[in-house]
Amino acid sequence: MAFKLLSAFVALLFVFDRSLDVQAAIARHPSQVLSVAPAAEEAIPAGTVRMQALGITKRPFSDNIKVHDADEDKILEIANTPAKQLPSYEVPKTFDGLLSPVMQGNGVLFQRESKVQSKWHKFQTELRKKGISYEHHYAKQLKWDGPYPANKEPIMMDERQVKNEDWVKFERAQFPVKLPEDTEHVIAWLRAPLTTKECFKPVGKEIPPSDHEIFMANLEPYIEFINGHDVFGTNVDMKDEDKLQFAKDLMEVNDSLDLQEKLVHGEQEEKAAKAYRDAKNLENEQLLAGLEVDTSAAEKIDLPHVERAKEAMLWAVQNITRMIEAKYPGRRFVWFRVNRWIRTHHLNQIHIFLEKEPGTIEKAVRISGLKELKELANSHPGAGILAAP
């Protein structure tokens, strides 16, 4: 089991430059002022601060802003939860190098360049001074700050809504992460739910996965699992070895164990879920005691119900992939949506890493001179035109 543990009990925060969604680790609402308790130099590692309880008692944004993957209690629980340490991920040299990391669950770990990060900090400061939430700012910018039109909500977001700006809007990322020269960072904002029951039904000639009947017999826990975790997809045919690595690094969040246990099917899975919870509780005890954390016990436990949930996620988000394909026909991409515990705000925001069009790849080749990009340009249709000199 290769979940990444984000302990609910750790009050240590490592501060470093992070992608837009991970800025939630610094302030979940720009009007919050974080109190940093002084500590002896030897008490905590360098670069570490302690956060006091934030004490937020009501959602810091308008009721007009519909949150589809977190109820009011969950919004407050997240707002009052200390931030977590996250590592960074090295940027690959070309778009193809992004596929495996994102589809394993590491999309959120890509960072911004320092200049872009400075702009992000300035943006944060401006919102904080005005006492405006991220949700309010973005909803107003998108013109989605009025009453939510529930009676017009699509049963599923897909290619049919791609031009309907009442429900989806695409834009270049305002604070993009650093990506390969042949890749651009695009955002898709969704006003409607990302995943609904309709998403689990086959479309056209799609062949459902082997566990489809199990999904359909008990859909709500699978939708809850998808809502509670990072989600990702691509329109690129993955290599067999990459398919085996799908979601292997799916981030484990504060309520993962509860969401997992709702998925158990049969006595064996029930026993496995209990053993896994016991192993994770032991890890937390070791962490709090300042001991070296032994993750081997948890890693040895097979969790077929969790693997089935990952399969359900891959199946149920194909609607989003089709929608992005309709927006950018003929372009290759990989996308992800960050879980509610890490992201900066509660709007539905999809990050798309989009391979640039052939002409712009050629330009990137000339600028960077990277051998890999030259090979990529030569491999495109019309390579006689695109090949770098």
What pLDDT sits at residue 250?
96
Per-residue model confidence as pLDDT tens digits over 324-369 = 999 999 999 999 999 999 998 999 999 999 999 987 666 655 655 5
Higher confidence at residue 4 or residue 251?
A: 251
More confident residue, 314 or 45: 314
**Per-residue model confidence (pLDDT) at position 358:** 80
Q: E strands of the chain, at which residues?
A: 4-5, 12-14, 48-50, 168-172, 183-190, 231-234, 251-252, 333-337, 348-355
Please compute the mean of the pLDDT values over residues 375-389 and round it to a whole number: 45
pLDDT of residue 147: 97
**Band (87; pLDDT cuts 50, 70, 90):** confident
In this predicted model, what pLDDT tens digit does every residue of 48-60 receive, in sequence order? 222 334 578 888 8
Is the pLDDT at 17 greater than 80? The verdict is: no
Give the mean pLDDT of 65-74: 95
- pLDDT above 70 covers a percentage of the chain that reads 78
pLDDT of residue 49: 28
pLDDT at residue number 27: 35
- Encode pLDDT of 184-194 as tens digits: 999 999 999 99
- How far does CA 363 lie from the centroid of its chain? 30
Cα 157 from Cα 318, distance rounded (Å):
10
Q: What is the pTM of this model?
A: 0.81
Could you tell me which of 319, 327, 313, 312 has the C-alpha nearest to residue 154?
Answer: 319
pLDDT tier at 386, thresholds 50, 70, 90 = very low
Give 196-250 pLDDT, tens digit per residue. 999 999 999 899 999 999 999 999 999 999 999 999 999 999 999 999 999 999 9
Q: Tell me the pairing of strands 4-5 and 251-252.
A: parallel
pLDDT at position 11, please? 32
Domain range annotation of the chain = 47-255+304-371
Q: Does the pLDDT value for residue 130 go beyond 80? A: yes
Give the Cα separation of 252 and 249 in Å (integer).
9
Kindly write down the DSSP assignment for every residue of 307-359, as one continuous string.
HHHHHHHHHHTHHHHHHHHHHSTT--EEEEE--TTTSSSSSEEEEEEEEPPHH
Question: What average pLDDT does this structure show over 9-14?
Answer: 34
The answer to whether residue 302 scores a pLDDT higher than 60 is yes
User: Is it the case that residue 168 has pLDDT exceeding 90?
Assistant: yes
Higher pLDDT pick, 233 / 37 = 233
pLDDT bucket at 36, cuts 50 / 70 / 90 = very low
Give the three-class secondary structure for 50: strand
Q: At 384, list the tokens.
A: 């006689």
pLDDT at 366: 60
